Structure 1
Amino acid sequence: MLRGLLASHSRAADGRRTRCPARANRGTSVGVHGRISVTQVHTELASTAAPRRSPAKRTLHHIVRTGVVTVTGIIGFACVAWWAIATLAGLSLIVVTTGSMSPTIPTGAVVVARSVPASEIQTGQVVTVPRTGSVLPVTHRVIAVDDVPADREARSLTLRGDANATPDRAPYVVRDAQLTIASAPAVGSVLQALDSRPLHGLLVVVVGAVIIWTFWPPRRKPDAA
């Protein structure tokens, strides 16, 4: 009987020793899977939140858009300002195509002029007046101002270019003239180039393409699965 009890106790102990590793293995398996799941969740959250925390980079598209808006605004403001000033003050732009006024006003310069009555014109001023027999006016310096007996408002102007040794052939009888206020070299050549029709068409195409590309919605990258 004692031997039977010892045998039963031995089998029970062996059974407990056999089952314990199984429970330990199951516990270890659960722990490993639990750690893997937590690691995967943290990795996915980190990958999702990372773009939100990273600072936005200025792309070429954004830089060009800002530049186009800025340049367009400046040009628009300058055009409106010039139109308002020219309308109120009676200003005009005159392109000089010859060198008769060099070096004061060289070829290709632009002159800002204001319309004044002939009675206000004085010797030494630079004026622009119509030229007889020519579509283009003449811009020369006044060297003499004489009254016109038949017309009190008119004046007879003797002009000469700074680069010329002699005065113009005949005086100019005018009732008003364009008085030079300021001049800028080379600007007239640029204005003449911009006034050509082929360049107008090219500028329209280029500017239109840049504006469309600038304001076209950027392509969004698909979200990673």
Structure 2
Amino acid sequence: MSRPGGSRRSSTTDRVVGVVLTVTAVLGALCIVATAGSLVLDVKPLVFTSGSMAPDIETGALGLARTVDARDVVEGDVVSVVGRDGARVTHRVVSVQTSSRETSLVLKGDANAVPDAEPYRVTSVDRVVADVPRLGYVAAWFSGRGGIVLAGAVVVLSLLVLVPRGATRAPGGARRAPARRRAGGNRVEVGP
């Protein structure tokens, strides 16, 4: 079945190509919007990997946090700090003591019976300003192996769709064999 412009691709192939390109464009646009939004709003994403903040913030939520001076933190804020062991902890502030050099915070997860073992001595913290349930699972997946494999598949499919291969059409619709290279590297077009 010949169509205008000499293309012999089936309508099913055209639909698949259209879907792949549309999905790729949408994902790319979402990445651009998310990156621009985080830069403009000065927020960073945090994935809640435990249930210590439940029921207010469930496991798998994506939190958005803004870095603030520790002296601006008040009891009840949910903040994220890095402990002495290098692990990030995101809990609610239950006590604040400020000195001229640093602030000491006592934190406690909403689901925990007791506050964290030691206070955190900090000069700045990441204060959680919003959270979206379950979106953290998606963000974690895209930043892991699954996301890398998906990105690679999208690149390969995009190249297969966008890079012409095999026989081409001469003006007027006649089939033309693929170009071959001479030993010197010059392309030689083989006629119809």
Same fold (TM over 0.5): yes
C-alpha contact 2:108 2:114 (8 A) present in aligned 1: yes
| SS of equivalent to 2:68 | strand
Q: Does 1:179 align with 2:127?
A: yes
Larger relative helix fraction: 1
Q: Does 1:59 align with 2:11?
A: yes
Q: Does 1:94 align with 2:41?
A: no
C-alpha contact 1:61 1:214 (8 A) present in aligned 2: no
Aligned with 2:138 (options 179, 185, 190): 190
The unaligned stretches of length 5 or more in structure 1 are: 1-50, 53-57
Q: Deviations over 1:138-165 (max 9, x none)?
A: 00001111112x41xx221111110011
Q: Deviations over 1:54-89 (max 9, x none)?
A: xxxx81222223222322222222222222222233
For residue 144 of structure 1, what is the aligned residue in structure 2?
95
Alignment of 1:116-155 (within 5 A): 116-133=68-85, 135-148=86-99, 150-151=100-101, 154-155=102-103
Q: Deviations over 1:24-44 (max 9, x none)?
A: xxxxxxxxxxxxxxxxxxxxx
| SS of equivalent to 1:173 | strand
For residue 157 of structure 2, what is the aligned residue in structure 1?
210
Aligned residues: 164
| SS of equivalent to 1:79 | helix
Report sequence identity in percent: 33
C-alpha contact 1:109 1:188 (8 A) present in aligned 2: yes
Alignment of 1:36-51 (within 5 A): none
The unaligned stretches of length 5 or more in structure 2 are: 5-9, 176-192
- Larger Cα-atom Rg: 1
Distance (whole Å) between structure 2 residues aligned to residue 142 and residue 205 of structure 1: 42
- What TM-score do you get using the length of structure 2 for normalisation? 0.72
For residue 165 of structure 1, what is the aligned residue in structure 2?
113
Distance (whole Å) between structure 2 residues aligned to residue 132 and residue 205 of structure 1: 37
- RMSD of the TM alignment (CA)? 2.8
For residue 70 of structure 1, what is the aligned residue in structure 2?
22
Distance (whole Å) between structure 1 residues aligned to residue 117 and residue 46 of structure 2: 22
- The Cα of 1:185 is off from its aligned counterpart by 2.4
Larger relative strand fraction: 2
- The Cα of 1:222 is off from its aligned counterpart by 8.6
C-alpha contact 1:64 1:214 (8 A) present in aligned 2: no
Distance (whole Å) between structure 2 residues aligned to residue 69 and residue 120 of structure 1: 46
- What TM-score do you get using the length of structure 1 for normalisation? 0.62
> Structure 1's 206 and 96: CA in aligned 2 closer, same or farther, altered over 3 A?
same
Aligned with 1:156 (options 97, 100, 104): 104
| SS of equivalent to 2:112 | coil
Letter in 2 for 1:211: S
